[in-house]
Amino acid sequence: MLKFKKFVLLLAITLLSMHHVMAEEMPTFTTGLAQTVNPGLYACSGANARISAVGKIKAKDGTEWIVPANTHFESAVKAADLYNQCNEIRLRRSADIDFKSVPVIDAGGSNIFTAYIFADNYFELYVNGKLLAVDPVPFTPFNSSVIRFKATRPFTLALMGVDWEENLGLGSEQNRGYAYHPGDAGLVAVIKDESGQTVAVTDKTWRAQTFYIAPLNDRSCLKVRGPVRDSSACSMESVQDGSSFSAAHWRVPASWFSPDFDDSDWPHATVFTNDTVGVNNKPAYMNFRNVFDDPIVDADFIWSSNLILDNLVLMRKVVE
């Protein structure tokens, strides 16, 4: 009898843990446009400025989702600018950085590091579980940032990347003559020590997981196998009316940025070329090619597997 009870208990635990894994893997789908909860996180009158609105959308199961992402933009420290048309800061080269004007944020440790980041469109940087700074321009114009911090190796880098959107909840924007053009993403980062030596770059050794995939004109195109969230069979076409399309959402783990978080089942990052991301006409990137395209340690653009449909991507790397 005792043996049987033990068997039933083990069976229950197994089923519960299986259910737990399944629940984490399968997305919740929403349909159509989200309700605007913030009409614009940030006002910029600069060239090519797009409104960085935030929305909320309810799924059929009652769950609510913030799109394109639930960020710390309003409360967090904004990263210092390399190039930001909204602030009229337009450095022409990395040698023009006035390091004394870039605050050193304490992430626990004794060495000073410098992070250079360009994101399409938005990032939040954590070191050792501490949110250091966020991208000062959520959507466009394209900007680039520099962050200094104190840490001791090894330390854990965690980056949230958001491909912002105009059609909230639908992963699309007005672009190239279409009202519902799925925008693309990409993020590049370089970390140097105080001597100027590169200690980390974004590359395929990072882990990257997507938590928001849109637009989906057909939900069945999305293949979820364990931690793999593969939307490569989904249409990425621009359309004039994508208002009835769907989106897939997964809950962001509470401590995803912590050094203790186990990212070992997340897929490795996918790397993308400068041409694919399309930075050749963007001075926020091109003025700092000596940093981002250093021939000795060349940083790659990274993202999860789909540069177009994956819109909220968490990336992690331990710097040994």
The least CB distance from residue 201 to Ca ion, in Å, is 8
CA atoms within a 13 Å half-sphere pointing along the CA-CB vector of 248: 23
Q: Which is nearer to Ca ion, 128 or 311 (CB)?
A: 311
Give the chain as a 3 state SS string: CHHHHHHHHHHHHHHHHHHHHHHHHCCEEEECCCEEEECCCCCCCCCCCECCCEEEEECCCCCEEEECCCCCCCCCCECEEEEECCCCEECCCHHHCCHHHCCEEECCCCEEEEEEEEEECEEEEEECCEEEEECCCCCECCCEEEEEEEECCCEEEEEEEECCCCECCCCEEEECCEEEECCCCEEEEEEEECCCCEEEECCCCCEEEEEEEEEECCHHHCEEECCEEECCCCCCCCECCCCCCEEEECCCCCCCCCCCCCCCCCCECEEECHHHHCCCCCHHHHCCHHHHCCCCCCCCEEECCCCCCEEEEEEEEEEC
- Alpha-carbon gap, residue 10 to 68, rounded angstroms: 40
- Closest CB 290 distance from Ca ion, rounded Å: 11
Q: What are phi and psi of 20, to 5 degrees?
A: -60, -45
Q: Which is nearer to Ca ion, 112 or 271 (CB)?
A: 271
121 binds Ca ion (CB under 5 A): yes
- Binding pattern to Ca ion, positions 205-244, x when CB under 5 A? ----------------------------------------
Q: Restricting to residues 257-316, which ones interact with Ca ion according to CB under 5 A?
A: 292-293, 298-299, 311
Among 44, 133, 137, 159, binds Ca ion (CB under 5 A): 137
Answer yes or no whether residue 203 interacts with Ca ion by CB under 5 A: no
Q: Does 167 bind Ca ion (CB under 5 A)?
A: no
Minimum distance between the CB of residue 22 and Ca ion, rounded to whole angstroms?
27
Instruction: Out of 81, 124, 135, 166, point to the residue binding Ca ion (CB under 5 A).
Output: 135
Pairing state between β 310-319 and 207-216? antiparallel
- Residue 45 C-beta: closest distance to Ca ion, Å: 16
| Residues between 169 and 198 that touch Ca ion (CB under 5 A) | 183
Beta carbon of residue 144, minimum distance to Ca ion (angstroms, whole number): 8
Q: Which is nearer to Ca ion, 62 or 295 (CB)?
A: 295
Question: Of 86 and 157, which CB lies nearer to Ca ion in the complex structure?
Answer: 86
Q: How far is the CB of 48 from Ca ion (least distance, A)?
A: 12
Q: How many residues bind Ca ion (CB under 5 A)?
A: 12
CA angle (225 as vertex; 219, 226 as ends), nearest 5: 130
Q: Which residues of 211-227 are buried (b: 16+ CB within 10 A; e: fewer)?
A: bbbbbbeeeeebebeee
Binding mask 147-166 vs Ca ion (x if CB under 5 A, - otherwise)? ----------------x---
Site string for Ca ion, 79-108 (x = CB under 5 A): ------------------------------
Q: In terms of DSSP bridges, do strands 144-151 and 104-106 run parallel, antiparallel, or are they unpaired?
A: parallel
- Choices 25-33, 48-56, 73-81, 136-144 (CB under 5 A): range interacting with Ca ion: 136-144
Establish if 120 lies at the interface with Ca ion (CB under 5 A). yes
Q: Residue of minimal CB distance from Ca ion?
A: 183
Q: How far is the CB of 130 from Ca ion (least distance, A)?
A: 21
Q: Least CB distance from residue 4 to Ca ion, whole Å?
A: 53
Residue 35 or residue 273: which is nearer to Ca ion going by CB? 273
Site residues (CB under 5 A) for Ca ion?
120-121, 135, 137, 143, 163, 183, 292-293, 298-299, 311
